Structure 1
């Protein structure tokens, strides 16, 4: 089609074979290992795992978020999140405050120590992404984001867009 709608709709990508897709899947696995390697080393100093990292990340991005909202964003069980939050609170990295409007709600904030940990974790990942984005170029970066968004389930994409649009 001359208007480019076929190419934009993805139909021109039907040339992708199972082998192309397998290579893409493997690239994602190896890239994820690289993306998480630096934070994993930092988290090991605290005896924390990736669930702690994700909680710290999203509490930082949305200070005052509720436990229920964090459950939705992370897609984990209440039991799993409570275990993670308990250690973060006990270690003085997260503060849980009772809601002003609804006393049943708990609002989460990073403490000063939590902000330091978050910065260490994010700095390591930003450095890796900055290097990769610069090497790939602006068109590849845009395409990469489009692919990632297309891989998200509709609910995940909505949550992602809410974070992106709110600037939090």
Structure 2
């Protein structure tokens, strides 16, 4: 099948922008499908996945640090985090300098579960990268970074460059 790629000078037309946004929705749908299937068997959803992923990437992050990364309300995080704690995927430890601080870590079970979810997405992205090639991947990263709010880009870059 021939891919409909916009002409280099027509990419800002309304229809091209709509097509690009639509493609982003379809890509996200398929990117999340495999983890969604795994999560549903454990009565978890995408919010659980995001928490597992970012606690795994940032072991020892505080609850407030996780709230900052996810940009969600404390109430939203509380429900999801409570379930992950209760079911033994995450543990909390008191901070060393401030005992009121709650630092989050994946348990061994949490690490296994997060890896299983990640593996499905890693393979999908790696395959897409191989097919598209390095120039396309670089352009893709540039587009994604420019979708992020400008005042948050440095924080996002700091997060992904760990």
TM-score, reference length from structure 2: 0.92
- Given the superposition, is the C-alpha separation of residues 41 and 15 from structure 1 closer, same or farther in structure 2, using an over 3 Å criterion? closer
Alignment of 1:125-140 (within 5 A): 125-140=121-136
CA-CA distance at 1:45 after TM superposition? 1.1
CA distance in 1, matches of 2:112, 2:98: 30
1:27-66, Cα deviation, whole Å (9 max, x unpaired):
0000000100010001011100100000000000010000
Partner secondary structure for residue 108 of structure 1: strand
CA distance in 1, matches of 2:83, 2:129: 35
CA distance in 1, matches of 2:11, 2:127: 30
CA-CA distance at 1:155 after TM superposition? 3.8
Unaligned runs of 5+ in 1: 1-11
Match of 1:81 among 77, 81, 84: 77
Q: Given the alignment of the two structures, is residue 50 of structure 1 paired with residue 46 of structure 2, yes or no?
A: yes
Deviation beyond 2 Å, 4+ runs, structure 1: 12-16
Partner secondary structure for residue 127 of structure 1: helix
CA distance in 2, matches of 1:16, 1:81: 37
Q: Structure 1 or 2: larger helix share?
A: 1
CA distance in 1, matches of 2:113, 2:75: 24
Partner secondary structure for residue 42 of structure 2: coil
Alignment of 1:4-153 (within 5 A): 16-153=12-149
Unaligned runs of 5+ in 2: 1-7
State whether residues 10 and 16 of structure 2, in contact with CA within 8 Å, keep that contact through their aligned partners in structure 1: no
- Given the superposition, is the C-alpha separation of residues 73 and 132 from structure 1 closer, same or farther in structure 2, using an over 3 Å criterion? same
Instruction: Tell me how large the CA RMSD over aligned residues is.
Output: 1.3
- Given the superposition, is the C-alpha separation of residues 104 and 133 from structure 1 closer, same or farther in structure 2, using an over 3 Å criterion? same
TM-score, reference length from structure 1: 0.89
